[in-house]
Amino acid sequence: MNTIELEDRFGISFCNRQAIAVERGAGSYVWDEAGNKFLDFTSGWGVTCLGHTHPVITAAIFSQAQKIIQNPNSGFTYSPSRAKLLSTLHELLPPHLVKLFFANSGAEANDAAIKLTRKITGKAKIVSALGSFHGRTFNTLSVSIGRDNTERYLPSLPENQFVDFGDSVAMRHAVDGATAAVIVEPVQGEGGVRIPEPAYLAQVAEICREHNALLIVDEIQTGFGRTGAFFALEHSDPPVQPDILTMGKGIAGGFPFAAFAVTEQIDSRIQKGDHGGTYCGNPLGCAVAASVVAELKEQNLAQRSRRLGVELLGGLTRLQNKYPELLLGVRGKGLLCALQFRADNTVDRLTQNCLDSGLLVTPTRNKVARLMPSLLVSTDEIMEALMILDKSLARVVGN
């Protein structure tokens, strides 16, 4: 049996997979087992921010793996690589966020944030936005997408509430004295690259303060240069100061890793034993993340993302004007962009046509195809992707 047959036979299938067995990658490209080349505009859902097999990542893995991968007694002992990453991130985080903890995934970071806000406030209610996505743990699923999603899992958490994303009036009606926290993305990723008004986050923060609720800003997908700023909350006007900031995906360029940062006030309420994890802040993950974050900073890739995002969005706008019968709109922030289609089935057809022509894109709920190339994507690669999209859209129209 080949790779696809083996996975289909022995693996649990929670999603519809594309018929491609990726064997290797370099930069913005990947190759399947037959040697066919594909331009990757998914970045593994925004993870491979430096592209595939970037030398700073492979060097960090090789160097640290020769020293130690996992500490004895895990987090009970100190680690030079963990200390280095803590110091590096402290310099880049908003100054009011003073303490960090590392996790294995964005879902774990968000789960811990929700758990801690409930423990600290003594309240249970969490307010989230319709269309949001914060992870696949029970805690994070309970504040993701909407009631049609959360009611699939038992027991339900009826005290949690969803409001329209970007609607501060609806948020004001939802948050009350029973609210432990609001969790919100600066830009919704899985929700379809939905971008709120610049004042939205600050308005939510003010509402939280009025009711002694905490604000969790989920930067799992938007952080580390993806939207044209190192953290997407930097787009907020006026500035916003969340109580907890969660991070993941691009933090380690493809290595499973995440983090959350808290204020001094939150840290002062955390007690020994409130949280932990076997692999949290393991030396190998910390070494990789430190190398990625240093590269992002030294090469000023957030600014590069902002500049190339303008090029990509401009090309997508031209496609919208060319295919108005298919495309309702386009939108984006930095190198997180979306094609908004008029019909759901068009997304799947486009995704398959792109795959057939050597381009990988991300089909997304709400009739959206998401584009998230590496932050090191070139102008030529953007033009190549736009040409393939053009041909693929034309085939959809023709069929």
Instruction: Tell me the DSSP string of 15-79.
Output: S---S--EEEEEBTEEEETT--EEEESSHHHHT-TT-BT-HHHHHHHHHHHTT-SS-TTGGGS--
Sign of CA dihedral 130, 133, 138, 143: negative
Q: Identify the CA nearest to 3 among candidates 32, 38, 30.
A: 32
The C-alpha torsion from 204 through 365 and 368 to 171, rounded to 10°, is: -10
Q: Which residues have a catalytic role annotated?
A: 133, 218, 249
Contact 369, 361 (CB under 8 A): yes
Tokens found for residue 252: 């380690």
Please name which of 50, 46, 27, 31 lies closest in space to residue 288, comparing C-alpha atoms.
Answer: 50
Do 212 and 177 touch, CB atoms closer than 8 A?
A: yes
